[in-house]
Amino acid sequence: MRFAKSPFVLSLSKHRSFFARWRERAALRQAQGERWKWDGPRLALCAILLIAALVAIGDYVTRPPLLPSYKTVKAAWHPSEAWLYDRNGHLIDSVRVDFQVRRLAWTPLDKVSPMMRDTLIASEDQRFRRHHGVDWLAVIGAVRDRIEGRRGRGASTLTMQLAGFLSPGLAAPGARGWLDKLRQMRAAREIEAHWSKDEILEAYLNLAGFRGEAQGIGAAALGLFGKTPDAIGRDDALLLTALLPDPQGSADAVARRACALGHGRVPCDRLEAAAWGMLAPARSLQLDPELAPHLAVKLLTKAGMRLTSTIDARFQRIATASLARQLHGLAGRARDGAVIVVDNATGDVLAYVGGAGTASTAPAVDAADSYRQAGSTLKPFLYADAIEKGYLTAASILDDSPVQLDTASGLYVPQDYDRAFKGPVSARTALAGSLNVPAVRTLVLVGVDQFRDRLWDTGYRGLTEDGQYYGYSLALGSAEVTLMQQVAAFRSLAEGGRWSPLRLTEDDPEAEPRAITTPAAAWIVGDMLADPNARVATFGLDNALRLPFWAAVKTGTSKAMRDNWCIGYSTRYTVGVWVGNKEGDPMRAVSGTSGAAPVWRDVMLAIHDGARPRAPERPGRVVAQRVAFTGTAEQPRTDYFIAGTGQTRIATAPATARRPHITNPVSGSVYAIDPDIPIDRQRLAIGVSGEVTAHRLTLDGRELGAADTNPLIFAAPGKHRLRLVDLGGDVVDQVLFTVR
């Protein structure tokens, strides 16, 4: 847009020939020796020249900057927010991305209530529709008030104020002089020459600052009243208009201005109460449902983004409400939690709750995608590996008894959650009851490195070290994982051992699933996890893991009760829940069944909405076999085997079938003598297992007697060698230990 030259400047160019003739006559007079005479014509000429010069200078100093067109202004508008929608097109959350100013999408004039438009014009520019940028009557009135010393109404029109929005230099602090006003007037006339009245009013409503960093009628209506601009009523319009002269004014000042604008049509006490409510500190963009704040922060990266997610708003509300109720019931013992719900068939994430409740001290942290210790939730993948390779069946007997494993970093002594041992148990009972010692024994069979690699293939990408780094504690979940990884991994069991990444948006590709384990092993592990009878020994009959339909589920509790997990699936959905404290401080008296499991149960019941999904169809390579047990507490039952591995009777191995060896002390043990305890009370119990008839024990070459007597010994400070010797004098087993 270019400004035309001043008509006074043009008039000077037209009279150029006059000045040329004047110079010629002046030169002739000087040549003839005539003196200059200040007669009338000459004085008039000088006055004209002086006026022309002043006009030219005035034109220059009052010339406004080049201003953009309406289309340019609208095209350059970028909201500070980005919006997240659910799979059905419903808004579920928004995120502010641009922190320089707070504004929403451009609001067309027909989306602003007539009450707001009329109130604004009546207050700021009554003759807006009739003038051409400058209201000369208002200017004259302002000059008169200034002369008379009265505080009068300002003469700035909406168009002049818009010029200040478009070129901040025209309305900069301190720009109150006549020259500044003249520049603003000229800019307003230029705008009026190229913009329509509706375009001017629309741009004003979008560019005006109403309160704090809120710019535009959209952000103001939503942030101050929780309404859209087309829902603004009379009281709202009066208060918003009253904010314009002083957006940071107090509630009382805004109420007084609004009362004056209302001319008695609205009770002033009502406006005062509304002003205090409008400017309350707790005000926010109330129409934002705030259903998925953590997911919104995760996905929305650019201002103005409108992203459609895979979330179902109904599922999101169910998961959020259930988690919030449980955290409230835990009464501060656990402040945080997370829930993820996934459609098994598609991998679409239907609910993503990264936190809920009001007690959290780290509400911005996304617990659904934070690394936490896995606890017992990794055991299903360990047993699936062992069953797939034929090392175990669901009916295989594992010994739940004390064990000490010699590792590079010292002795590893796993214990069960209840610190009790159940003796010989089946793999089914061990997994469903989450027994620790049988899991460690299974890891010894599978191998730590092999199991670590299996977990990596199952999407647990936080396991960046080799298996030896984690050691045997990997069977008990010493590695750190995220809830997203957990849900994706358990979904792979629901999908017959096939893993694929989860989808969060409709644009995420549907990746080809890859086989992690065999369908037979995945099905058998799922059947073990869904068996309520196998859980009885640990969890009892009445617990939160039992549903009125088929569902496989696993709980987990990490070291020092810092994390509670419950992840399970039906044939339709997989649901994962984490409960704990984001800072990592331990919980008190909260376990997997009392912390995360109630949330899992509530969500599973709600999302299935009365449906009763059946158990998944049994793969062809899985056969049913009636099994009887001898030497254990296991009851006869029909169990499931990969074809070729079935058995009809399973018994514990007799002592005569076990290799004789020393069970206590374990090689590498270090014992300390307590000076406050009598020496004769500080004896070490020797333990052996297997058929040790006719075997004897020696300590540093000194005979201790028959091995089957389990003698109590006293060892002096120093290093010692304990040997188990058979009848022929051969050393069957030996351990080294130290006494300090």
Q: What are the pLDDT digits (tens) for 322-342?
A: 999 999 998 878 999 999 999
Lowest mean pLDDT segment, chosen from 251-255, 551-555, 666-670: 666-670
Residue 114, Cβ density class (10 Å: 0-12 exposed, 13-18 middle, ≥19 buried): exposed
Structure tokens at 574: 């997989």
pLDDT at 96 over 90: no
Return the pLDDT at 279: 84
Q: How much is the mean pLDDT over the chain?
A: 86
At residue 16, the pLDDT reads: 54
Kindly provide the b/e burial profile for residues 379-417, where b requires at least 16 CB atoms within 10 angstroms of the residue's own CB. Answer: bbbbbbbbbbeeebbbbbbbbbeebbbeeeeeebebebb
| Residue 10: partners with Cβ closer than 8 Å, 6 or more residues away | none
Would you state the pLDDT for residue 451?
A: 96
Q: CA-to-CA distance for 395 and 649, rounded, in angstroms?
A: 9
pTM above 0.85, yes or no: no
Name the band, by pLDDT with cuts 50, 70 and 90, for residue 12: very low
- CATH class in words for 73-78+100-278: mainly alpha
- Whether 155 and 175 have beta carbons less than 8 Å apart is answered as no
Fold adopted by 367-649: Beta-lactamase (3.40.710)
Least-confidence region, from 21-30, 558-567, 633-642: 21-30
Distance CA 93, CA 292 (A): 6
pLDDT the model gives residue 172: 55
The residue ranges of every structural domain in the chain are: 7-61, 73-78+100-278, 367-649, 656-739
pLDDT single digits (tens) 193-241: 999 999 999 999 999 988 877 789 998 888 888 888 999 999 999 999 9
Multiple choice CATH, 656-739, 2.60.40.10, 1.20.1250.20, 3.40.50.300, 3.40.50.2300: 2.60.40.10
Tell me how far apart the alpha carbons of residues 338 and 319 are, in angstroms, rounded to a whole number.
9
CA distances from 46 to 24, 42, 43, 49, 97 (A): 17, 6, 5, 5, 62
Say if CB 102 and CB 201 are below 8 A apart.
no
pLDDT digits (tens, 9 = 90+) for 663-688: 788 777 788 888 878 877 788 888 88
Most confident region among 257-266, 269-278, 339-348 by mean pLDDT: 339-348
Q: How far is residue 441's CA from residue 237's CA, in Å, rounded to a whole number?
A: 73
pLDDT in tens, 45-80: 777 777 777 767 766 666 778 889 999 999 988 898
Q: Long-range CB contacts (< 8 A, 24+ apart) of 105-110? A: 105/79, 105/218, 105/304, 106/74, 106/77, 106/79, 106/206, 106/216, 106/218, 107/202, 107/205, 107/206, 107/216, 107/217, 107/218, 107/229, 108/202, 109/198, 109/201, 109/202, 109/205
Distance CA 433, CA 532 (A): 10
Per-residue model confidence as pLDDT tens digits over 580-629: 999 989 888 787 678 899 999 999 999 999 899 999 999 999 999 999 99
Counting other chains too, the contacts that 680-684 makes at CB distance below 8 Å and 24 or more residues apart are: 680/714, 682/714, 683/712, 683/713, 683/714, 684/712, 684/713, 684/714, 684/715
Q: Helices (DSSP H) in 465-619: which residue ranges?
A: 467-470, 483-494, 519-529, 536-539, 597-608
The pLDDT value recorded for residue 107 is 94
| pLDDT at residue 284 greater than cutoff 60 | no
Share of the chain above pLDDT 70, in %: 88
Strand intervals (E) in 572-621: 573-580
